Amino acid sequence: MKKIVLIIFILFTLKIEHTLHADDGYRLWLKYDEISNPLRLQTYKKLIKGWMIFGESSTMAVVKKELYTGLEGLLGSAVPEVDSINDGIVIVGIYQSSPLLEKLNLSNRLINISQGSYIILNTRLDNKQVIIITANEATGLLYGVFHFLRLLQTYQDIENVNIESSPKIQRRILNHWDNLDRTAERGYAGFSLWEWHKLPDYIHKYYYDYARANASIGINGTVLNSVNANPLILSPLYLEKVAALADVFRPYGIRVYLSVKFSSPIDIGGLPTADPLDSQVRQWWKTKVEEIYTHIPDFGGFLIKANSEGQPGPQKYGRSHAEGANMLADALKPFKGIVMWRAFVYDDTIKEDRAKQAYNEFKPLDGKFRDNVLVQVKNGPIDFQPREPFHPLFGAMPKTPLMVEFQITQEYLGFSTHLVYLGTLFKECLDSDTYARGEGSTVAKIVDGSLDQHSLSGIAGVANTGTDRNWTGHLFGQANWYAFGRIAWNHELTAAEIAEEWIRMTLSRDPNVIQTIKDMMMFSRENTVNYMTPLGLHHIMGWDHHYGPAPWIKDKHRDDWTSVYYHKADSNGIGFDRTATGSNAVNQYYPPVAQKFTQLNSCPDEYLLWFHHLDWDYRMRSEKTLWEELYYHYYSGVEAVREMQCSWNSIQDNLDEEIFQHVQTMLKIQEKESVWWRDACILYFQTFSGEPIPTELEKPQKSLEFYQNLSFPFAPK
Amino acid sequence: MKKIVLIIFILFTLKIEHTLHADDGYRLWLKYDEISNPLRLQTYKKLIKGWMIFGESSTMAVVKKELYTGLEGLLGSAVPEVDSINDGIVIVGIYQSSPLLEKLNLSNRLINISQGSYIILNTRLDNKQVIIITANEATGLLYGVFHFLRLLQTYQDIENVNIESSPKIQRRILNHWDNLDRTAERGYAGFSLWEWHKLPDYIHKYYYDYARANASIGINGTVLNSVNANPLILSPLYLEKVAALADVFRPYGIRVYLSVKFSSPIDIGGLPTADPLDSQVRQWWKTKVEEIYTHIPDFGGFLIKANSEGQPGPQKYGRSHAEGANMLADALKPFKGIVMWRAFVYDDTIKEDRAKQAYNEFKPLDGKFRDNVLVQVKNGPIDFQPREPFHPLFGAMPKTPLMVEFQITQEYLGFSTHLVYLGTLFKECLDSDTYARGEGSTVAKIVDGSLDQHSLSGIAGVANTGTDRNWTGHLFGQANWYAFGRIAWNHELTAAEIAEEWIRMTLSRDPNVIQTIKDMMMFSRENTVNYMTPLGLHHIMGWDHHYGPAPWIKDKHRDDWTSVYYHKADSNGIGFDRTATGSNAVNQYYPPVAQKFTQLNSCPDEYLLWFHHLDWDYRMRSEKTLWEELYYHYYSGVEAVREMQCSWNSIQDNLDEEIFQHVQTMLKIQEKESVWWRDACILYFQTFSGEPIPTELEKPQKSLEFYQNLSFPFAPK
């Protein structure tokens, strides 16, 4: 009889899963569906029979709920809370406040570890075999519980678990480029999550889920509004709304930060100036900051884009970036708030290579910033291109803590319709060696503060989240959010490890399926570079909206917003000479790096046209001419998208139907658009090279004129 | 043993429901959760053992899927498709094409019935007891199947079912006021559903669910874009996108219509004029319409707002609305397309009561429109106010088919945060007697064409749908979408009947719960009138965004966009004299109506200040003075919202938790805002009346100045 019950039970379970779970992607990687491998399930059930949690606080309530929900889902039935220790009990508590845990003598492992750190340990305690999750504070326990649940989700061994995990970077922050009207700049997943009009009264359920998702990957800060900030965000009306969101996020260990407009004292303060050395202005900021902290006692601080792309800044008053930043820093200091001052500055009235300008402006300011200022530097010197060399400011300002700013939203990487895994892009930058203090001076070590012994460190990712039900528009956009968080926590993880974690949690635990998807992901960004901007090309996308190819953009009101400024194609060749014979941008790097990029025999193909203007018949390492290598990359890019399509189709039976179809459609769009990129770019560059494309290759589908005349009046931007 | 299996089965079912179904509202009223009443379930299972469907087409595929999914969900297990007739079989097929069904001799019931009609019949056929769903076309079957499933959802008897249902109005259309950038005018449920940028390639799943929801309530048309139309909607780029949506909607019996801009021949055609009598212009429209029909063979036609609120129109060229409409009608005629020409016109340069202007302009044109033109008239003469008398054009243009335009989105009724059931509002208008052909000449009979024997008829509802997961922002907004569809199908249904259907399908089948919610809904609109615009007040809301009270609005560039234009409060009294001593708008109604509104002893309190300017101490029927009656209404409005809160809280245990909390929060906002309306309006009108409020009533929470200084910079509009 038991057998029959079991069979019916199983059948019913299968049916329910099938019927109810056309997966719309809302649950992200936090799926706590019952573990489908029976042996695995049996093992886990044996090792997890109950749980105890010590401590009460809003964060502990979240910890408790997550552990309960996670275990119930993964193990298929509720795991009871118990009040005495026994074999197979999971014990969660702050070490210092639990006499029981202190028996484990973990204090030396818990001393001097950074905030958020935790230990997960399968050990004996009072003669029982138990699993311990402990930390110095509740947020550490939250991270620890998420890690523990991830072990189960990804089918890891927990019998001998002994994990000690500490975040390498202190401030792990999402930057939302969201406007108060709920449009999102470079938002491709619907609109802003923040329902400003209904706040503070209506708290949407997804605010909690957003916080939970971030906490699960260790993100501990969020900048709610765009760097092109509306000054109203600091008005009492909006501060009340911001406070309501901060209240939601607080238990999840997430602090709220705001982007501010430098001219706020004028715009909403009624002052005649925003001069950072003006005492009234300084007082206005002090008072405003005090007001903010009455609403939000753990407010994180300000992000600011100043004297950049038309935004106001201190230079209007003859003051430096440092003087501007320090004014804000002084106001925030009593409350332990910080300033994140962006180094994304360039000016088309300065006749200098745009790639050089941030370095030129900021390097002289090294040492002049207050200790609660971080300078936020984009990963590359232009603007989130499919590929850029690392920003030369990394290593150039040893006395200043530098944040790296990555873009998770795919402004230049196919919006939310191209599958492009960014784990590899993030790692490429972080692993780059600046040679600032000799070999091994990686960007990562500069960002995490270890190279120059900074106590403050931070990393920012421009969010790709929006109102789309699956959060990111493209389901694989979730992987980029996930990868950002995981790398922000531990930049030593490989992109492949992170991809595999994400796949296991989100899509499948079947080894073949994992391998197929991981291969797709790991090559996806390189390949997108191939069909968009191979060999170091950059900034050749559509005007303004940045959608699709447009290498022909020229004669605009700003030179440095045109494409021809960057590729400099002519009948002789193509590429931006940034060596000593050109802009000499290469000289901003430390000598070993500068040398590598300067010399053609050591400059990697990936950066060739970034640093060099070369003849069309320049002979590449591959023995191909530059022209041949160029079209070869474009064609192989399209081919690889088609291979991704085949790979995806090959695992259809192993995937949720809704997810399968969603990604399949997206891949069709990516294929179509990769052809568009290829054909438009090749046809355009061919007008300079004058060289043919071999007849055995696909003919371009349309004429160059056709591509040049396309327009996308309401493309998101 | 069977018993144990059953118990486990039941327990498991309950658990799953509990765990998975925190209801986010996405499924609308089409919840096919298993019937929870065991007796009911048993009965249905006995009567429904299998099904047969005759016919194949894209619509039939939808019919089949719906029947299968619905029965599987409601009965808790899949009901098999069978290939031979037997007791308890549901047979679905087009009557004329099924020899089996023809045995039933239903042809006389199916002759001369309107498109979409169907019959549901429990009867004997070949000596078996079967349930028949039959119609003249597949769309009728689709409506029939939805009706049949609704019977089960609402626990109706199907043993003796014998239903014949025909839509009374031919074109049942949603109007989306959606822009191409995905903002939605007067959209309070997020943003536009149409992802223009990703169309035609990416077909979002919710497009299907949108179509399905509409089909389930008989809606058969959708205008995709705002009446303030962007001319680009007619460009080849967008027509391809429109066609993709039309392809999704077609199987669900839904036609696509477009709003067009009258100046399109200039804007995108490059012509120097849009004069409707210009042969080039006429040719441009003909060619454009031909192009549209190559993309969308069943395209419905155009909706147009011309010479209204700044939109271009024929009057610029000295032509009439009829000449404008007829040009478009001539272009559409060969394809059976129609024109819906809006009568929403008023001009502040004409010194005439705004309420009179549409009548003045359109009545003289009666008989001058082509037979494929419908004139679309808002329910009242101003603009979707909480309460208006019916529009005097109804009955005034017997030779012209008139559509009624309702607003489902709550522009003037609390956006998406107030619970206001609009079934009663729709019915109030449709049941109004115009006396056009003597007593009984209701608006409904004019709209459905029966009074004046029009073969073309239509009804429009400005949609309240958006990207919010629950479609309408406020869960009870769904009821208004539902009610619009059901009334469009059959305006003889009562608002209460429709409310009960919706509650049963969406929230609960518990009689006490149904009664509680129905009471809330049925009084909700009257009550919102009480705290917003009692006694015939109108148009006293916030400037531009229309959020909250602002009876003080004056001195704007258009008089007819101010509040004081409408309430005319002064130290003597309040109200708009529209009798013969005033604007004489009352004279636009047929004599019995005009007389009723003119005479104070017959003018209903609801319309009192709409038609009369009365002294503050005017003695009301209630024996109260006008001032007393006014504040009494405002106070009782707030009280009733508080009662709604109590009612809702009293049924918490019977409701889904997520839904309960969502509505509870919304009711808190409604309470807060009803107080705001009450206090702001009373304090403001008190400056004229000079009369006190009894001390036993709540004091206003803030000063008048406070309310006047509130601003809502990014309120949706």
Q: What is the pLDDT of residues A231-264, one digit of tens each?
A: 999 999 999 999 999 999 999 999 999 999 999 9
Residues of B44-67 as b/e, b for ≥16 C-beta within 10 angstroms? Answer: bbebbebbbbbbeeebbebbbebb
- Chain B residues within 8 A of A13 when measuring between CB atoms: 12
Q: Does A65 touch chain B (CB under 8 A)?
A: no
Residue B582: exposure state from Cβ atoms within 10 A (0-12, 13-18, ≥19): middle
DSSP letter at A35 equals P
Q: Compute φ and ψ for B42, nearest 5 degrees.
A: -60, -45
* pLDDT above 90: residue A21: no
Rounded to an integer, what distance in angstroms lies between the CA atom of residue A324 and that of residue A340? 11
* Cis peptide, bond prior to residue A200, ω within 30 of zero: yes
CA distances from A147 to A118, A161, A505 (A): 10, 11, 12
Rounded to an integer, what distance in angstroms lies between the CA atom of residue B646 and that of residue B335? 55
* Model pTM above 0.80: yes
- The complex's ipTM? 0.94
Residue of A5, A203, A417 with shortest CB distance to B198: A417
Residue of B5, B181, B197 with shortest CB distance to A8: B5
Rounded to an integer, what distance in angstroms lies between the CA atom of residue A171 and that of residue A173? 6
- Chain B residues within 8 A of A72 when measuring between CB atoms: 19
Rounded to an integer, what distance in angstroms lies between the CA atom of residue B653 and that of residue B667? 17
CA distances from B125 to B93, B141, B144, B159 (A): 14, 19, 19, 15
Rounded to an integer, what distance in angstroms lies between the CA atom of residue B289 and that of residue B266? 16
Size of interface A-B (CB pairs under 8 A): 88
Nearest C-alpha neighbor of A679 from the set A660, A663, A701: A701
Check A417 against B665: CB less than 8 A apart.
no
Q: Does B190 touch chain A (CB under 8 A)?
A: yes
Residue of A nearest to B204 (CA): A662
Q: Does B196 touch chain A (CB under 8 A)?
A: yes
Residue A348 is predicted with a pLDDT of 84
Token digits for B374? 């419908």
pLDDT digits (tens, 9 = 90+) for A551-608: 999 999 999 999 999 999 999 999 999 999 999 999 999 999 999 999 999 999 999 9
Residue B682 is predicted with a pLDDT of 98
Q: Does B181 touch chain A (CB under 8 A)?
A: yes
pLDDT digits (tens, 9 = 90+) for A418-462: 999 999 999 999 999 999 999 999 999 999 999 999 999 999 999
Residues 388-417, chain A: which have Cβ within 8 Å of B? 417
Residues 440-499, chain A: which have Cβ within 8 Å of B? 467, 469
Check B714 against A12: CB less than 8 A apart.
no
Residue B21 is predicted with a pLDDT of 52
Rounded to an integer, what distance in angstroms lies between the CA atom of residue B605 and that of residue B584? 19
A97 with A55: CB under 8 angstroms?
yes
Q: Does B12 touch chain A (CB under 8 A)?
A: yes
Whole-number mean pLDDT of chain A? 96
Residue of A467, A662, A716 with shortest CB distance to B467: A467
Widest Cα–Cα separation across chain A: 86
Catalytic residues of A: 309, 383, 411
Q: Compute φ and ψ for A106, nearest 5 degrees.
A: -100, 5
Low-confidence ranges of chain B (pLDDT < 50): 1-20
Rounded to an integer, what distance in angstroms lies between the CA atom of residue A192 and that of residue B64? 38
Residue of A nearest to B664 (CA): A202
Residue B22 is predicted with a pLDDT of 84
B411 is annotated as an active-site residue: yes
